[in-house]
């Protein structure tokens, strides 16, 4: 029944002074000789009370088990080691006299560590430092001609340029005893930094706007924000005054700009969408149809809306077309003023159809109309009586488009 291997020792605190050690018994070993009479035991159960089996012999479990200045007790064949009263340490290795229980038990330059009075300055301060113990605490300071953090390490002190801003030039400030340019990393991008009387001022560069302490961005100077900012024969396009006719009208058209509004019309004898292309009227035989836009837009926007639908801004050139547009309005269910393409934007009092460029050969004016005025150059009809009226082009109204079917 010999143990096949040595069990591990396990220690734990049993009381304030005692540590329990449990050992395998018997400990593995070889008989002292081939004479079986020298074998007293095979395990501790073969030994008398207070004895344990060690190397096949019954013996005192305390023998050699505890260190100096300790007490060994045996309880049920298990040895327990403890430091003697007034001693501290690890009883299996040895105990030493207790020096303290708190800092006040030690001299002022020492502190109580593990019940021993230790040097309070030991490993407390950094390089190039001086340590002084005051009331059991280390007080670190840099050695002469050294500066920085005495707990981490001190460096050789440079000669002081200044102790305050007034020791420096007016465009410098005192930082860490040196006169330096305070503009470094203070102002944002695209800025100008100036220092006067040691005070920093950040400003955006010319042509830039924003917060100069964070970031300034390029400022685009716009020539215009609305058509009225431009000459009367130009319109505002992306902040620039431009001649709208250069790009807005199609082939075989006439472009007229008045009061910052472009009016495209087909050349005489041509029909079609003047914003795209006009064709010779003599070459086509088509029936005109009308479409009524149910959203309210300005007169010039109505031109664009019709064009986006591959239609033309409506014209009325005869009584039958007057009846056709009336029928289209009734079918749409709208009520109110409806834009048509007539205007005198080209010449006051000379009304032409924007879709054809031709003057009026048929009219259905309301009594007292047209009112020839720069304020009311555009033509609309009212669904109440389908009479024509002149109105301000900028007001949102329903609109009529025309298209042709064979």
Same domain for 200 and 297, yes or no, is no
Averaged over 7-28, what is the pLDDT? Answer: 35
In a domain, 194, yes or no: yes
Q: Is the pTM of this model over 0.85?
A: no
**Judgement on whether residues 255 and 336 belong to the same structural domain of the protein:** no
Distance CA 170, CA 193 (A): 14
- For 97-153, write each residue's pLDDT tens digit: 888 888 888 998 898 888 888 898 888 888 888 888 888 888 888 887 777 666 667
Model pLDDT, residue 7: 33
Cβ 209 vs Cβ 219: under 8 Å? yes
pLDDT in tens, 251-293: 888 887 777 777 788 888 888 788 788 888 777 667 889 999 9
CB 140 within 8 A of CB 123: no
Note whether 305 and 252 are same-domain residues.
no
Residue 239 lies in a domain: yes
When comparing pLDDT for 77 and 197, which is higher? 197
CA distance 217 to 207: 8
Strand partners, 390: 379
**Backbone dihedral angles phi then psi of residue 299, each to the nearest 5 degrees:** -60, -45
Tell me if 348 is assigned to some domain: yes
DSSP-based three-state secondary structure for 229: helix
pLDDT of residue 285: 67
Parent domain of 83: 57-98
Query: Do 298 and 386 belong to one domain?
Result: yes
E strand intervals along 199-286: 199-204, 208-211, 215-218, 235-237, 240-242, 253-258, 261-266, 270-273, 277-280
15: number of Cβ within 10 Å: 9
Provide the phi-psi class of 346: left if phi over 0, else alpha when psi is between -120 and 50, else beta.
alpha
The answer to whether position 105 is within a domain reads no
Q: Which of 194, 154, 160, 186 is nearest to 174 (CA)?
A: 160
Digit-coded pLDDT (tens) for 203-216: 998 888 888 888 88
Cα(52)–Cα(315) distance, integer angstroms? 126
Task: Note whether residue 202 is domain-resident.
Answer: yes
| Domain end (from 198, 218, 238) | 218
Sign (positive or negative) of CA dihedral 58, 63, 65, 70: positive
Residue 341: CATH number of its domain: 3.10.100.10
Q: Output Rg (C-alpha) for the chain, integer angstroms.
A: 54
pLDDT in tens, 216-236: 887 766 778 887 888 877 777
The answer to the question of residue 2 being in a domain is no
Q: Are residues 362 and 259 in the same domain?
A: no
Per-residue pLDDT, 331: 94
Domain count, the chain: 4
- Residue 379 in domain: yes
Q: Which pLDDT tens digit goes with each residue over 184-193? A: 777 888 899 8
Q: What is the CATH number of the domain that holds 243?
A: 2.10.25
- Answer for the pair 227, 261: CB distance below 8 angstroms, yes or no: yes
**Residue 302 counted as domain residue:** yes
194: which strand partners? 201
- What count of other Cβ atoms lies within 10 Å of the Cβ of residue 12? 8
Looking at the structure, tell me whether residues 173 and 195 fall in a common domain.
yes
* Residue that terminates a domain, selected from 98, 121, 147: 98
Q: How confident is the model at residue 330 (pLDDT cuts 50, 70, 90)?
A: very high
């Amino acid at each position: 029944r010999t143990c096949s291997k040595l069990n591990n020792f396990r220690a734990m605190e049993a009381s304030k002074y005692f540590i329990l050690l449990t050992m395998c018994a018997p400990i593995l070993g070889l008989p002292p000789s081939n004479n079986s009479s020298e074998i007293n035991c095979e395990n501790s159960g073969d030994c008398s009370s207070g004895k344990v089996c060690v190397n096949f012999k019954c013996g005192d479990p305390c023998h050699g088990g505890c260190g100096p200045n300790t007490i060994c007790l045996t309880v049920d064949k298990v040895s327990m080691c403890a430091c003697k009263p007034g001693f501290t340490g690890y009883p299996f290795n040895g105990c030493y006299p207790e020096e303290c229980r708190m800092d006040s038990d030690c001299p002022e330059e020492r502190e109580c560590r593990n019940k021993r009075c230790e040097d309070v300055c030991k490993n407390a301060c950094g390089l190039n430092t001086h340590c002084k113990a005051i009331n059991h605490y280390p007080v670190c300071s840099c050695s002469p001609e050294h500066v920085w953090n005495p707990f981490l390490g001190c460096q050789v002190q440079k000669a002081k340029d200044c102790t305050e801003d007034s020791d420096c030039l007016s465009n410098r400030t005192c930082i860490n005893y040196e006169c330096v340019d305070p503009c470094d990393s203070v102002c944002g991008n695209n800025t100008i930094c100036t220092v006067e009387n040691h005070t920093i001022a950040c400003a955006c560069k010319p042509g830039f706007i924003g917060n100069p302490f964070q970031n300034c961005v390029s400022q685009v100077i716009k020539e215009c924000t609305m058509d009225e900012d431009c000459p009367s024969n130009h319109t505002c396009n992306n902040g620039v005054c431009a001649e709208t006719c250069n790009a807005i009208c199609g082939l075989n058209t006439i472009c007229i700009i008045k009061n910052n509004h472009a009016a495209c019309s087909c050349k005489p004898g041509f029909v079609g969408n003047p914003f795209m292309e006009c064709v010779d009227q003599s070459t086509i035989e088509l029936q005109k149809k009308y479409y009524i836009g149910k959203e309210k837009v300005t007169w010039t926007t109505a031109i664009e809306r019709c064009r986006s639908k591959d239609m033309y801004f409506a014209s009325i050139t005869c009584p039958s077309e007057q009846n056709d547009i009336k029928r289209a309005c009734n079918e749409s269910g709208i009520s109110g003023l409806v834009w048509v393409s007539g205007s005198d934007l080209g010449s006051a009092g000379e009304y032409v159809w924007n879709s054809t460029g031709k003057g009026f050969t048929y009219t259905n004016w309301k009594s007292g109309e047209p009112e020839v005025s720069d304020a009311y150059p555009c033509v609309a009809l009212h669904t109440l009586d389908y009479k024509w009226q002149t109105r301000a082009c900028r007001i949102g109204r329903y609109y009529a488009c025309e298209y042709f079917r064979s």
